[in-house]
Amino acid sequence: MIIKKFKNCGLVPRFLFAFCLSNIKFLMRIKINMEKLRVHSGHKLFGSLKVCSSKNAILPILAGCVLCNGEITLLNIPNFSDINKMCEILKSLGCIVNYFNGVLHINSKNVDRFLVENSLSKDIRASIVFLGALLGRMKRCVIGQPGGCLIGNRPIDLHIQGLKALGANIYEEHGYLYCNGENMRPCTFKFEKQSVGATQNLILASVLLKGKTTLKNCAKEPEVVDLVNFLKSMGAKVSGAGTGTITIYGVDELHSTIYLPIGDRIVAGTYLTACAITGGNVEICNINPNHLSSVLKKLSFCGCQLCIKNDKIKLLANQRCKSLKSITTGVFPKFPTDMQSIFLSLMAISKGKCVITEQLFDGRFKQVPDLIKMGAKIDTFCNMAVVTGVENLSGADVSATDLRAGAGLVLAGLKADGYTTIDNVQYIDRGYDHIENDLSILGAEIERIT
C-alpha cells in the first residue's frame, strides 16, 4: 500500500506548526485586508514605464528550481504576494531563499522534503506545479489542494491524467494528494485540451526522467516557453515549446543558472489599456510585442495609435475609444482571459456596444455589479456580457473579488468622476507590485490608504 510509505512524513507535527504560524500571522493579515486604493479621475497618463518579469512565468520557474541540485539567480523579480508564497513553499522543502532589490537567489542543494502543506498551497493556484517538480526530484509528493482567485471551476484532472500516464500512483485523502513516482517512465501523452499548468507540470516531471517523453496538444503560451528556456539554461533537453508538441529527453541532473524571465504581458496590457481609458501617451518597456499581439490589435481597432520597436510599445490615445464589436477569450495566441476584466472597463467608457464572451472561466464577470454601481451599462448572460459604453463613470466604494477584476476596477476609477475606493487590495497585490506606484509614475492620482 502506498499509504504506508507516507506514515513517516511527519504530517501531524507539521499541521500543528502550520496552525500556530497562521495564528501568529493573524493580525498581519487583518492589517493587509484593511488596505484600500483610492483613485481620483481627471488625469491623462504620460511617460515611460518598465514592466517587471512575468508573474505567470516566474511561478512555475520557482517550482522548477526544486529540480536543480545547485544555485539559481533570477533577475527583475517583483515583490508580488504570489511570488512570496511560492518562496515560502521552497523554504519548507529545504531551499535557501534570499531576495534583494529585484534579485532572487535560491539554493536547492538541500531539498529533502516532499510535503507541501495545505496552509501554503491553499492560497495560490500555481502551487500545483510543485507536484511535477517534486515527483521529478524526489519521486514522491504530498500536496494540499491548490487555491487561488475564485474565477470559476479550475479542475486539475488534466494534471493527474498526465502524471498517471507517466506511471505516477496518485490518490486523494483528507484534502491532500498523495503521489508516488517510483515507477514513472517516459511515454507519449496527448492532453484532452490545452492547459498551461498541466503542460508545465508534465514538463517538470519529465526532465529528469530517463528516456524520451512526448507531449501533444500542449499549451503554447509564452509562459510555457519561458519555463522551458529556464530549464534548458540548467541543461534540460526540451524541444517544441510554443508548438502543440513538446519533446523531452531526460538528463541526469540540472546545474546552476542565472536567468531573466520574460516581461509581464498582462501588466503591460493593463497599463496600455489604462492610457486608452484616460487618454495620453505612454511607453511600456521590457515586453515582447508578440506576447501581446491580440491585445495590441484590439487597442488599435479602438482607435489608439501604436508604435512598436524592439521591447518597447508606445500608445497614443487622443480621443474617446470606439467599442469593439466583440471580444472572445481563448488560449494563446487568442485574446487572454486575464485581459478580459481589464477590457471590460475600457468597453464600459467606449463609444458603442461590445459583446464579451468568456470561453475559459465561468467566474470572470464578478466586477460587473461594482461597475454598474459606478454607472456602467452592462448585461450578463451566462458567459457573455453586453457592454454599452457611457461617456463617464462615477466614483464609488467598490471591492476587488479577484486579481484582474480588482485591476479592472482601478482602471475604471481612472475615468470615474470624483474618488473611487477599492478594498480587498490583497487580491490586486497578487499580480501587481504596488499598482499605485506604477500608475503614479505615469501621472495618475492614486494612493494606498488604510
- Compute φ and ψ for 232, nearest 5 degrees: -65, -30
What residue has cell string 506545479?
129
Q: What is the number of alpha carbons within 13 Å of residue 447 lying toward its C-beta? A: 5
Question: Cα–Cα distance between 9 and 139 in angstroms, integer?
Answer: 14
CA 174 to chain centre: 27
Report the candidate in 156, 105, 117 with the shortest Cα–Cα distance to residue 17: 117
Cell of 304: 489608439
Cell of 100: 534583494
Cell of 306: 501604436
171 close to 143: Cβ distance less than 8 angstroms: no
DSSP per-residue string spanning 241-273: TTSSEEEEE--S-B--EEE-PPB-HHHHHHHHH
149, 179, 218, 354: which one is catalytic?
149
149 is catalytic: yes
Report the candidate in 388, 431, 439 with the shortest Cα–Cα distance to residue 413: 439
Q: In what order do the strands lie in the sheet with 257-259?
A: 96-100, 103-107, 71-74, 257-259
What residue has cell string 495545505?
118
Report the candidate in 408, 386, 390, 385 with the shortest Cα–Cα distance to residue 398: 408
Cell of 437: 506606484
Question: Cα–Cα distance between 116 and 129 in angstroms, integer?
Answer: 11
| Residue 217 exposed, middle or buried by CB count within 10 Å (0-12, 13-18, 19+) | middle
Question: Cα–Cα distance between 242 and 261 in angstroms, integer?
Answer: 16
Question: Cα–Cα distance between 85 and 184 in angstroms, integer?
Answer: 29
Question: Cα–Cα distance between 275 and 254 in angstroms, integer?
Answer: 43
Report the candidate in 198, 196, 247 with the shortest Cα–Cα distance to residue 220: 196
Cell of 78: 517583483
Cell of 233: 539554461
Question: Cα–Cα distance between 232 and 239 in angstroms, integer?
Answer: 9
Cell of 30: 487583518
Q: Which residues carry out catalysis?
A: 149
